[in-house]
Chains A and B, each alone.
Chain A
Amino acid sequence: SQQGEEDPQALSIQEGENATMNCSYKTSINNLQWYRQNSGRGLVHLILIRSNEREKHSGRLRVTLDTSKKSSSLLITASRAADTASYFCAPNRDDKIIFGKGTRLHILP
């Protein structure tokens, strides 16, 4: 198991802008996942990118993966108030995910 480190720790942007969050990790992986957590709720799986993929899209989400740099990014386009949440990356090698502290995203009206 291994832990991802998200950057920045907190991010505030205007509604309609794009939000970019980054993730770094230290060892080889099978896949990398991104999760969202609304205040007081459980984590919700957003997207999974496999180690042999470089980019993946799902609606307004775009995830990139650079295994040579051991990094990933999550882009949320045209942000909405409902996107306000914490976002966690989860590099996964042995199916025992260790979560980092996440990025707290706040969308300003």
Chain B
Amino acid sequence: NAGVTQTPKFQVLKTGQSMTLQCAQDMNHNSMYWYRQDPGMGLRLIYYSASEGTTDKGEVPNGYNVSRLNKREFSLRLESAAPSQTSVYFCASRSDSHFYGYTFGSGTRLTVV
């Protein structure tokens, strides 16, 4: 099925550990995004990539790095996890056409202890 695939679905980290969240889309979209969602809150934009080879900061980039490995894949890395990064992380992609919205993955639930 076409869409956005995120891995892993769940992860528990200890403070200071590092990890990479993976995201891949098979819809040939140029734009990809990483959001985080905390309880009762909307989604906050962490980083985005308008095309392969480009990345830009969103609202809350501190503590994160991203890589747009190719057109399909956009990964999010936590170099030294902190409890404040406990959240649900969503990846999304967008068609270049302005008539369509974003397609979201099912999320990664991350807990930092």
Interface residues of A (CB under 8 A from B): 1, 3, 30-31, 33, 35, 40-45, 48, 50, 88, 90, 95-102
Q: Which residues of chain B in 41-65 are interfacial with respect to chain A, using CB atoms and an 8 Å cutoff?
A: 41-45, 48, 50, 58-59
Which of A43, A45, A102 has the most C-beta atoms of chain B within 10 angstroms of its own C-beta? A43
B40 touches A42 (CB 8 A): no
A42 and B107 form a contact (CB under 8 A):
yes
Among the listed stretches B14-22, B74-82, B96-104, which one makes contact with chain A, having 4 or more residues with CB under 8 Å of it? B96-104
Contact A45–B98 (Cβ < 8 Å): no
Cβ-defined contact, A45 with B101, below 8 A: yes
The total of chain B residues at the interface (CB under 8 A) is 27
**Shortest Cβ distance from residue B6 to the other chain A in the assembled complex, whole angstroms:** 8
* Cα-based distance from A95 to B100 in the complex (angstroms): 11
Q: Which of B43, B50, B94 contacts A99 (CB 8 A)?
A: B43
Q: Which residue of A has the minimal Cβ distance to B105?
A: A42
State whether B45 touches A48 (Cβ < 8 A).
no
- Please report B residues at the A interface, Cβ cutoff 8 Å: 4, 31, 33, 35, 40-45, 48, 50, 58-59, 90, 92, 94, 98-107
Residue of A nearest to B96 (CB): A95
Which residues does chain A contribute within 8 Å of B50, judged by CB atoms?
95
Contact present for A101 and B42 (CB under 8 Å): yes
The residue that A45 contacts in the complex, of B35, B45, B48, B100, with Cβ under 8 A, is: B100
- Shortest Cβ gap from A23 to chain B (Å): 12
Do A96 and B58 touch (CB < 8 A)? yes
Q: Which 5 A-B pairs have the closest CB atoms?
A: A45-B101, A42-B104, A99-B42, A99-B43, A101-B42
B90 to chain A, nearest CB (A): 6
- Please name 25 pairs of A and B residues whose Cβ atoms are closer than 8 Å in the assembled complex, sorted by A: A1-B45, A1-B58, A31-B98, A42-B90, A42-B104, A42-B105, A42-B106, A42-B107, A43-B43, A43-B90, A43-B102, A45-B101, A45-B103, A48-B101, A50-B98, A88-B42, A95-B50, A96-B45, A96-B58, A97-B33, A99-B42, A99-B44, A101-B40, A101-B41, A101-B42
